[in-house]
Amino acid sequence: MVDRLESLLTHFAVHARMFHSGALCGLNEVPTLPDTGQLHLIKLGPVEVMHDGETPLHVVEPSLLLYPRPLKHRFVTDAKRGADLACANLHFDGGVANPIAAALPPVICAPLAQIEGADGVLSLLFDEAFNQRCGRQALVNRLFEVVLIQVLRHLMESGQIRSGMLAGMGHPKLRHALVAMHEQPAHEWSLEELADKAGMSRSVFANAFRDTVGLTPGAYLQNWRVSLAQQALRQGRSLKMIALEVGYGSEAALSRAFKVQSGLSPREWKQAQAI
């Protein structure tokens, strides 16, 4: 089976930093940061999770809460017994343009028992998070990142994401075409080639891709190429080299696609990022 997450995480890594471990009692407003998600691991509850204008989530078993983007929320727990949590901020490379963060719903709540293969990692994470040992912060940060990868794997394999890129990555046939585009963005992919990668006829592939991912294959490829170009611009790469690496024959061709996608030229976009 192709590794569906490898090319995504290679280009758009996710970094975690724990900011809380231990008990929370009563009402607690969770601080958020711009362009930063959060992963909360509830070891012992119950916990009521409140979002403005939404029905509260009632968590009664060990669970995780994943916020890929900033979202104001509050925890309500027993004023005396409280609840035990380990919480981390998540920085997705590329910020709001990160394709992984963009493909996820605003909040995901899942029992820890549903995350296949995570028992050992979670046990170690909680043990380290709730004790004071040398290297604790660095170790727990890495463990949060491992848990996030396991959550993404779970979401794809369980089919819980119904539309968008991750839904396509979970599709038994479409995922082959998506991985091909992710791994070889500079290739001039034709609809026939992508359909062949997926083992489908051209018309069936085109319809299934649009219905599942929400874009035509051509539009998705352009989005992916521009996302890679934005990431390379953040790293200070030259536009000429970027254009060749992501499949455009010239700076002008990349600039046109870039403006269609972002509404700005590469120069304007880079200046806006510096503000």
pLDDT one digit per residue (tens) for the chain, 275 residues: 567 888 888 888 999 999 999 999 999 999 999 889 999 999 998 999 999 888 899 999 999 999 999 999 999 999 999 999 999 999 998 877 788 898 899 999 999 999 988 999 999 999 999 998 999 999 999 999 999 999 999 998 887 888 899 999 999 999 999 999 999 999 999 999 999 999 999 999 999 999 999 999 999 999 999 999 999 998 889 999 999 999 998 999 999 999 998 898 998 898 888 76
pTM for the predicted model, two decimal places: 0.89
What distance separates the 2 farthest-apart alpha carbons in the chain? 65
159: Cβ contacts below 8 Å, ≥ 6 apart: 167, 170
- Cis, bond preceding 46 (omega within 30 deg of 0): yes
CB 77 within 8 A of CB 30: no
